[in-house]
Structure 1
Amino acid sequence: MILVTGATGFVGGALLRRLAADRACKGVVAAVRRKPVSLHEVVQQVLVGDQLHNTDWGLALQGVDAVLHCAARVHVMQDDATDPLQAYREVNVYGTLNLANQAAQAGVHRFVFVSSIKVNGEASQPGQPFTADDVPSPSDSYGVSKLEAEWGLREIEAQTGMEVVIVRPPLVYGPGVKANFANMMRWMARGMPLPLGAIHNARSVVALDNLVDLLVTCLKHPAAAGQTFLVSDGEDVSTTELLRRAARAMSKKALLLPVPASVLELFAVLLGKRAVAQRLCGSLQVDIAKTCRLLGWVPPLTLDEGLRKAVEGMQQ
């Protein structure tokens, strides 16, 4: 039996669909925060509420052998919380460790935690991709909270013997994606020109199906125990190239104006949008060699295939 948290979210929902279709899966329990929702008929639902730091997981953990923990307070560009770090800690640290402690006590064999590449840092140096074994260097409250959760999970692992697997994804895209990626896709679909035709950075992204495939692999693979993995589509592209290929997936031509990155960054600073410019113009590469070597894992979808699926999801 597998427990999936964050079951109604972008990643958690995709995991449920994948596990429900797997005949080898003996059962799935979906933790939902509010009223029962429409899920696959083979999936059991358990209501856990919003206060994950003091949730009693006893009912949800009955008969569970592995946990896929996707629930999180996700990163937001304009956080209006009075104390953002404490708000992230409530869910991402205290909520995660509360579940992990109870899972270990309930005899759960393996705990797979969806962390974030922000634990490594906000940007990589050109030609020097992040690796899973780099010294962490988070620069915002969200990244700090994910790192603290990782530290706490490793302590629980050492004390209880429950196997912990940590996966740090970069930007995840696919059917149902939201936020900035979805906005750019919609703008291109409408034929709107974007000033992003001269960005010469290098960024790693991961298709939703690729992330889900790795998480499912981490549930049972013997070599995954105790490890931290990075994940991507295995191909790094510039922001400009990513948008061109997304437009191609729509059978459209990208209208990208060749505005120099330095000009974009200057205007972003003046408008108080420095972080947005960093994500568009800066590099963030991840090295998945360890993931592929230890797990024998290869991303099932190429970048272009992932973009086509994302476009199909927009059109439904």
Structure 2
Amino acid sequence: MEKVLVTGARGFIGSQLCKRLANSGVELHAVSRQPPADVPAWWRSIGGDVGYARRATAIRWWNVDLIDLQATRELIRTVRPDTTYHLAGLATSTSRFEMVLPILQNNFLTAFNLLLVTCESGAGRIVLAGSVEEPDSPNPIPCSPYAAAKGATSAFARMFEALYQTEVVIAKIAMVYGPAQADLTKLVPYVITTFLRGERAKLSSSVRPVDWIYVDDVVDGLMDCAHASGVRGRTIDLGWGKVCTIREIVRRLRELIPEAPEPLFGAVPDRPLERVLKADVATSCKLIGWNPSTTLQAGLRRTVEWYRSRPGA
């Protein structure tokens, strides 16, 4: 039986990955700073099938702060996973100065510690959650502390693979959306829940084109990264491969929520250094055989239906 470790297991992508893995017959270990007090309730909250609730209770939860190197070392030596999905971190593109250190610690140091102890122990493959916002050669300046931390993580991951033969794959993920996203400051859940309350969403100019990807497609891609051959040290883009402006997303959400009032564009400032970023899906397909399957319209419809069905929506 494959041993699988998921960090950031209570997060948006991590929880959906756990839902998929729990139904796949693996020995699943989940890491978070605070495991859920009621696992079956948590399972249902992320859309887990009630018929499989017993699988959710079989998840082995570990209360570990991955910033702590020794705690991370003990975790990996105890579990000895065949596959580690590293999804823990602060998912924010804020440029506020006071967030630089927390983002460095939670996004870079946690990944570095995992790379180090995995190399020490000879554990299996690590799939690192990167970002399409990472700086590249045409655009070497990171657009946020988050992008800088992700870029540094990817650089160290490639070094660990090249020098020490650590088995690592970097998944550069585009803008993820979908049901059960608890962080209501993220654009799609913020706009949906604001519209459902009959309020006007306060937005930036919203002219930025973005590559949007449905969470189930990301889970598929991560699992393909974990099991594909010939991709050690490679970077795999997980996105739709097309861009759509934020204004267009908001327009589509208003069509799905007819009672929604007109949004307030320009009510908040645009973030500096924003770039147009698009996933290279053709190369991802060649490397791991993955293609996204959920259209933007279908994904937005499912997401609206999920939030509409929640109590108090």
TM-score range, shorter chain: 0.7 to 0.9
**Equivalent position SS for 1:138:** coil
Amino acid at match of 1:156: F
Find the counterpart in structure 2 of residue 124 from structure 1. none
Find the counterpart in structure 2 of residue 306 from structure 1. 299
Check 1:238–1:50 CA distance in 2 against 1; reply closer, same or farther (3 A cut). Answer: same
Find the counterpart in structure 2 of residue 244 from structure 1. 251
Find the counterpart in structure 2 of residue 210 from structure 1. 217
Matching of residues 10-89 of structure 1 within 5 Å = 10-23=12-25, 26-35=26-35, 37=37, 38=39, 40-49=56-65, 51-61=67-77, 62-75=79-92, 77=94, 79=96, 81=98, 84-89=99-104
**CA distance in 1: counterparts of 2:156 and 2:177, whole angstroms:** 28
Check 1:242–1:85 CA distance in 2 against 1; reply closer, same or farther (3 A cut). Answer: same
**CA distance in 1: counterparts of 2:194 and 2:141, whole angstroms:** 33
**Equivalent position SS for 1:214:** helix
Point out the more displaced range, 43-52 or 204-213: 43-52
Find the counterpart in structure 2 of residue 130 from structure 1. none
Amino acid at match of 2:57: E
**CA distance in 2: counterparts of 1:3 and 1:288, whole angstroms:** 26
Find the counterpart in structure 2 of residue 275 from structure 1. 271
**CA distance in 2: counterparts of 1:184 and 1:258, whole angstroms:** 11
Which of 112, 117, 123 is equivalent to 1:102? 117
| 8 Å Cα contact 2:6/2:18 also seen in 1 | yes
Check 1:304–1:169 CA distance in 2 against 1; reply closer, same or farther (3 A cut). Answer: same
| 8 Å Cα contact 1:55/1:98 also seen in 2 | no
RMSD of Structure 2 on Structure 1 (CA): 3.0
Any idea what the Cα deviations from partners look like across 1:149-176, whole Å, max 9, x if unmatched? 1111122112321221111222211112
**CA distance in 2: counterparts of 1:134 and 1:222, whole angstroms:** 29
Amino acid at match of 2:270: R
| 8 Å Cα contact 2:132/2:277 also seen in 1 | no
Report the TM-score, using the length of structure 1 for normalisation.
Answer: 0.79
**CA distance in 2: counterparts of 1:147 and 1:197, whole angstroms:** 26
Check 1:101–1:201 CA distance in 2 against 1; reply closer, same or farther (3 A cut). Answer: closer
Which of 115, 122, 144 is equivalent to 2:130? 115
**CA distance in 1: counterparts of 2:295 and 2:4, whole angstroms:** 28
**CA distance in 1: counterparts of 2:14 and 2:263, whole angstroms:** 37
Check 1:67–1:257 CA distance in 2 against 1; reply closer, same or farther (3 A cut). Answer: closer
What percentage of aligned pairs have identical amino acids?
A: 25
Amino acid at match of 1:16: C
Check 1:159–1:306 CA distance in 2 against 1; reply closer, same or farther (3 A cut). Answer: same
| Long gaps (5+) in structure 2 | 44-55
| 8 Å Cα contact 1:120/1:135 also seen in 2 | yes
Find the counterpart in structure 2 of residue 148 from structure 1. 152
**Equivalent position SS for 1:57:** helix
Check 1:28–1:258 CA distance in 2 against 1; reply closer, same or farther (3 A cut). Answer: closer
**CA distance in 2: counterparts of 1:186 and 1:72, whole angstroms:** 24
| 8 Å Cα contact 2:174/2:211 also seen in 1 | yes
Distance apart, 1:295 and its partner CA: 1.8
Which of 167, 174, 193 is equivalent to 2:171? 167
Check 1:283–1:189 CA distance in 2 against 1; reply closer, same or farther (3 A cut). Answer: farther
Point out the more displaced range, 70-79 or 11-20: 70-79
**CA distance in 1: counterparts of 2:32 and 2:264, whole angstroms:** 45
| 8 Å Cα contact 1:197/1:257 also seen in 2 | no
**CA distance in 1: counterparts of 2:123 and 2:204, whole angstroms:** 50
1:92 aligns with 2:107: yes
Point out the more displaced range, 211-220 or 37-46: 37-46
Check 1:198–1:154 CA distance in 2 against 1; reply closer, same or farther (3 A cut). Answer: closer
Distance apart, 1:43 and its partner CA: 1.5
Amino acid at match of 2:8: G
Distance apart, 1:306 and its partner CA: 1.4
Amino acid at match of 1:6: G
| Long gaps (5+) in structure 1 | 122-132
| 8 Å Cα contact 1:54/1:95 also seen in 2 | no
**CA distance in 1: counterparts of 2:173 and 2:215, whole angstroms:** 10
**CA distance in 2: counterparts of 1:158 and 1:209, whole angstroms:** 31
Which of 173, 176, 183 is equivalent to 2:180? 176
Deviating runs (4+, > 4 A) in structure 1?
Answer: 133-136, 191-201, 253-259
**CA distance in 1: counterparts of 2:122 and 2:294, whole angstroms:** 35
Amino acid at match of 2:7: T
| 8 Å Cα contact 1:235/1:303 also seen in 2 | no
**CA distance in 2: counterparts of 1:134 and 1:72, whole angstroms:** 26
| 8 Å Cα contact 1:7/1:31 also seen in 2 | yes
